[in-house]
Amino acid sequence: MGADEAVADADLSALPKAHLHLHLTGGMRRSTLRELAVEHGVGLPERLVDDFPDEWHVLGWPRFQRLYDIARSVLRTPADIHRIVRERAEDEAADGSRWLELQVTPSGYATRFGDVVTATEIFCAAIAEAQQATGVGIRLVIAANRTRPPWEAELQARLAVRMASYGVVGFGLSNDERIGAPSDFAKAFRIAREAGLIAVPHAGELLGPESVADTVRVLAPKRLGHGVRAAEDPRVLAQLAAAGIACEVCPGSNVALGVFAGHEAVPGRALEAAGVPVVLAADDPLLFGAGLVEKYAAVRDVHGYDRDGLARLAAASVRHSTMPALQAEAMLRDIESWRVRRISAFTRRG
């Protein structure tokens, strides 16, 4: 199949894939945000009330974080969490995503649910219910907030380990990359890794390749949230490639936060050319206005990915997930079937 064969949007939805970088609040439907805001009496700024165009620009990290915090404030009850997780699973299924690794920072919800343990139990119950209802495999990544003290990260790492039998598979590190060095969180990540959880910290988004190199050296990740700034240093690219560390590339958020001026500058091709595994993800579609299928459409339209290339990205998302081996093998076979199948440009009449 050559690059001249068009891959339709509907065909992108049929492509089996996994979604490995999505935040809980950021995965909420905008309609649900508005309904919950009314229900709980939360005032929303215009940017969260109005619908947005395909390219919805958030002007800088501080504004993004403020909007995210406001959006999170509408989640007041366990029922709210169950609702947004179930709806997220439904949206994943519609996008052809059969596996979701959902990232959440329990400390951000502790005050309204009592404590971090209770909050995490609610998240685990919600993913179990949504998985049962939709058939989408869902797991949790517990993420520490890098703007908070290291002892809190260590507490959450121990909590993540404790909840491993309830669907927690990884430990992450999120928020403003310019605050908190990777070494501050080394102990927390060691606690998680030694118990068998994967390390999936954010790095190489707001800071450059030196942040990626430090994160790899200190936290020993299996994947990196973003990691795109590694493309600025061939030595760091070679390090990622040699270690097989995947980058969770989220083009929409990179552009919206000003990391790159446009989708054409997002270095997914450069990462792949250097041997770095790339998995596409939506990050926070609530704020950035596009889901997982739109990310595949963007690399098709902007970077010229054909059927083979799109299948390669989908396969990488499966291989670098925590999906059980038999399920992963079955998905890889389905992806290969999609790759070799020609989709007619016209709807066949029965």
Q: What is the pLDDT of residues 177-209, one digit of tens each?
A: 999 899 999 999 999 999 999 999 999 999 999
Examine the pLDDT at 45 and tell me if it is beyond 60: yes
Examine the pLDDT at 308 and tell me if it is beyond 60: yes
**Helix, coil or strand: residue 176:** coil
Sheet holding 17-23, edge to edge: 17-23, 97-104, 137-145, 168-174, 198-203, 223-226, 246-249, 278-280
Tokens 């002892």 label which residue?
151
Indicate the pLDDT class of residue 3, thresholds 50, 70 and 90. very low
pLDDT (tens digit per residue) in 114-156: 999 999 999 999 999 999 999 999 999 999 999 999 999 999 9
Examine the pLDDT at 344 and tell me if it is beyond 50: no
> Residue 59: CA atoms inside 13 Å, Cβ hemisphere, count?
1
- Catalytic positions, please? 205
Indicate the pLDDT class of residue 172, thresholds 50, 70 and 90. very high
Tokens 């329990």 label which residue?
106
Examine the pLDDT at 6 and tell me if it is beyond 90: no
Examine the pLDDT at 348 and tell me if it is beyond 80: no
